[in-house]
Chain A
Amino acid sequence: MQQNPYIPITMKLVKNLVETEDKLINTFTLEFLNKQDEENFKYMPGQFAELSAYGHGEAPFGIATSPTEPGILKFSVAKVGCVSNALHLMEEGTMVGVRGPMGNYYPIEEFKGKNLVIIGGGFAFTTLRSLAKYMLDPKHRGDYGDITVIYGARNPGLLLYKEELAEWENNPNINLVTTIDRPAEGWNKHVGFIPSITEQIAPSSVNTYAVVCGPPAMIKFTLPVLEKLNFPPERIYTSLEMRMKCGLGICGRCNIGTEYVCKDGPVFSMAQLKELPSEY
């Protein structure tokens, strides 16, 4: 019999890190309790999992780690509801439930031999981190061309993964551009909204894919820029969010037309989305 997809595996919260200065986003590092669980949890960048805060419920979150980082999973979660609040308050060492991996992933096979521009806004950077981390792995880096990351937040304190960003700054394998909305003291990098920064510094669209994740307004204004830069819709990918419960394409709430975001997504190309009703 197939394993019961409603029963989570148990993982240990080994680190509960306050990620942003507004203290609204924490990054949870979860550790697999045994090799078997880890073997069964084979995932790719872009997939998500349902986290259980026992006593409070379950909610879906994108996986921020890359499969190249063994033994753990990381999730960066904004404090918005019942489950995320409970997770934020959780002491290190507490056991949490994890169901997954769920959904599809960024088309890393299709990306092979291509340049990539990764554009992220705010805390939607989580699965983009997974993607960048995956491609930067020495085993995979040779498969891809230039990698550009454009990452913006309202202010410097709201950028996720600051240590990693610092490391990427000096890494010749990746071209990192960070930006904030308004000038701030001590900030000597880009200032401006993501769409205009993208327009200024995005690489040529020739042989290049774009992956865009962020708040709806950011996506709305970035897409026309990419179109102007001649990125065809087939080469622009995004990841969608939806209210989800089962994560298995059964409970019926996360569909956009015929597609269930939990099972057929969350990653869609703009070409696919153009064929679907605008109900997301």
Chain B
Amino acid sequence: MNKIISDIRETARQLLADGKVDVVIGYEKGSLPLKATPCFVHSAQEVDSLIWDETCENNLAAFVAKTPGKKAIVAKGCDSRALVVLLQENQLVRDDLYIIGVSCHGVIDQRKIGAEVGEILEASITDGKISVKGMEGDKEYLFAEVKDATCQTCRYPNPVIEDLHLGELIQVSQDVAAFADVAAMENKSESERQEYFKEQMSKCIRCYACRNACPLCYCQECFVDCNSPRWLTGGVDRAENLLFQAGRVLHLAGRCVDCGACSRACLQGVDIRALNRKMTKDVYEMYNHESGISEEGKPALNVYSANDPEEQFLVKE
């Protein structure tokens, strides 16, 4: 067994046995190949179900505030960034939280594999190679080939906040954030972009899996559910869907940690991240801000600055 997994289990066992936490939120093997599932361990006897690998794609920070009691969480880089934002926004009590940090090389994009081999019958991961048996055929992949798009641009594979670190730290170049994907979208003509988003928005079925999978979409009443005033109709058409998706992105401006949980949760394969990434880039360029990277900071739009570059916004004397 891999050392990180045994360490996670041992840590969980200790925390639960010592009564330091009531529950450990981690991952266990899912019912489908290449799919891990969130798991809630309440007793030291159950820790052996915990795992850690490239299939642990959910952002567990989404569960923390909703889980009562003192809790430990297995957090990869993006989970930890979401925790930071939640702490900055007073959604969590730090003392009730024990963060088991794990470095993450990225998670597998199952959709990409499924599109090539059909429904996955069996799969195994060894030494960075993924062997897949599918209904339409078998295939072997290098991890890099099927790494989720989000993880390919990840600059924070190591947790930014943690109580314990397990595994080796991953080296990344910490220069500047790269936004080649956004730049490519910006370089398209307006009509091309319009076509692209029309197609994307026509796929949305408004099941709200994206919103609910997001660790930072925690509003008690989401604007889409509000009925007085009613911002959105129940209509499921491109315009209404765009209003929902764009509204969500705007609410996440300066807060989104680009974990990709929304895109991975989407059954319909809507490119939700295309909108989020643009917002992330704009916030990065305008405010020199990346969300959830240090506990001291505040979400970009929660800060008032007299040097705000947007002049009309400020009342000049």
Contacts and interface: CB of A to CB of B under 8 A. Distances in A.
Interface in B202-239: 227-228
Nearest to A56: B228
A250 interface: no
Range for the number of chain B residues in contact with chain A:
under 10
Contacts of A81: 227-228
Contacts of A82: 227-228
Nearest to A86: B228
Contacts of B227: 81-82
Interface in A71-101: 81-82, 85
Contacts of B228: 81-82, 85
A82 B228 CA distance: 7
Contacts, number: 5
Nearest to B227: A82
A170 B227 CA distance: 46
Interface in A207-237: none
A206 B241 CA distance: 62
A82 B225 CA distance: 13
A98 B228 CA distance: 22
Interface string B183-215: 000000000000000000000000000000000
Nearest to B230: A82
A129 to B, nearest CB: 29
B228 to A, nearest CB: 5
A81 B228 CA distance: 8
A151 B227 CA distance: 34
A85 B227 CA distance: 13
Interface string B228-260: 100000000000000000000000000000000
A81 B229 CA distance: 11
Interface string B120-142: 00000000000000000000000
A81 B227 CA distance: 9
B221 to A, nearest CB: 14
Contacts of A85: 228
B223 to A, nearest CB: 16
B87 to A, nearest CB: 36
A95 B227 CA distance: 23
A251 to B, nearest CB: 13
A58 to B, nearest CB: 12
Nearest to A57: B227
Nearest to B228: A82
A26 B269 CA distance: 50
A85 B228 CA distance: 11
A82 B226 CA distance: 11
Interface in B27-75: none
A87 to B, nearest CB: 14
B224 to A, nearest CB: 16
A246 to B, nearest CB: 14
Interface string B133-153: 000000000000000000000
B242 to A, nearest CB: 24
B226 to A, nearest CB: 10
Nearest to A82: B228
Interface in B139-194: none
B277 to A, nearest CB: 37
Interface string A115-133: 0000000000000000000
Nearest to B229: A82
A56 to B, nearest CB: 9
Nearest to A85: B228
A223 B228 CA distance: 37
A57 to B, nearest CB: 8
A267 to B, nearest CB: 29
A39 B227 CA distance: 35
A53 to B, nearest CB: 12
Interface of B: 227-228
5 contacts: A81-B227, A81-B228, A82-B227, A82-B228, A85-B228
> Closest 5 A-B residue pairs measured CB to CB?
A82-B228, A82-B227, A81-B228, A81-B227, A85-B228
